[in-house]
Amino acid sequence: MDWTIFRWLNDLLLGHDLIGDEVADFSTWSPVLAAVAALGLWLAGRPGTMSRWKVACASALTSAAVALLANQAIATFWSRARPTDAHPGQAHLYFVSPSADPSFPSDHAAAAFAIAAAVLMVSRRAGAWFLLGAAAIGFSRILVGLHYPGDVLAGGAVGLAAALVVHRVARRPLAVLVRLVSRLTDPLLRPVWRAAEARITARRT
């Protein structure tokens, strides 16, 4: 079943080089963009406060790190070959370099869903957008030929589990971390916030 679904999705890009190139670029860079977006949540937190956005940022990045570490542990026990290695000539790799890492679970999906789940626990609206992005990341990894659907689903499950563990176990340490980092960033962000608020006030008057 895993191979059947993979092959059907992977074949969708046959003969569509322009689309395949765009999907490959998205597949390669989207996890970095997800991490940058999570880091950007910190900027939404008002300086001098214990903002939920700062907590969301810290939780998201920590959850992604935990998910990636869990993936490495899983891969030591179950080393699954990439589709193009297991099915040469049948699985197609589109505009991406082959990877020597195990196929199961997907690191990209694990990190993306860990970030999304962590943000979702703070804000449903923002988390929904992150979840949509995580789903697109996982889907793109199948399309370009780097992962089976099962790899992506497993990576997503690892990411969700990592976010839950961080939420339940690491809330207090993360709160301490947020306060410490805020002492460094708040003096830098306070003028930016004041300028933004002054501009908003000027537009309203």
For 124-183, give the DSSP string.
HHHHHHHHHHHHHHHHHHHHTTS--HHHHHHHHHHHHHHHHHHHHHSHHHHHHHHHHHHH
In a domain, 47, yes or no: yes
Domain assignment present for residue 87? The answer is yes
CATH code at position 127: 1.20.144.10
Predicted confidence at residue 59, as pLDDT, reads 96
Residue 112 inside a domain? The answer is: yes
For residue 201, being part of any structural domain is answered with: no
Average pLDDT over residues 186-205: 78
In a domain, residue 198? The reply is: no
How far is the C-alpha of 155 from the C-alpha of 108, rounded, in Å? 8
The boundaries of the domain holding residue 160 are 2-188
- What's the CA gap between 121 and 81, in Å, rounded? 34
Residue 145 in any domain: the answer is yes
pLDDT digits (tens, 9 = 90+) for 133-191: 999 999 999 999 999 999 999 999 999 999 999 999 998 899 999 999 999 988 888 88
Which residues, in sequence order, are CB contacts of 203 under 8 Å at separation 6+?
A: none
Percent of the chain with pLDDT over 90: 53
The mean predicted confidence, pLDDT, of the chain is 90
**Domains of the chain: total:** 1
pLDDT tens digits for range 62-96: 999 999 999 999 988 888 889 988 888 888 888 88
Which two tokens mark 53?
């956005």
As a whole number of angstroms, the distance between CA 117 and CA 42 comes to 17
Quick check: is 77 in a domain? yes
- Examine the pLDDT at 195 and tell me if it is beyond 70: yes
**Could you tell me if residue 138 is inside a domain?**
yes
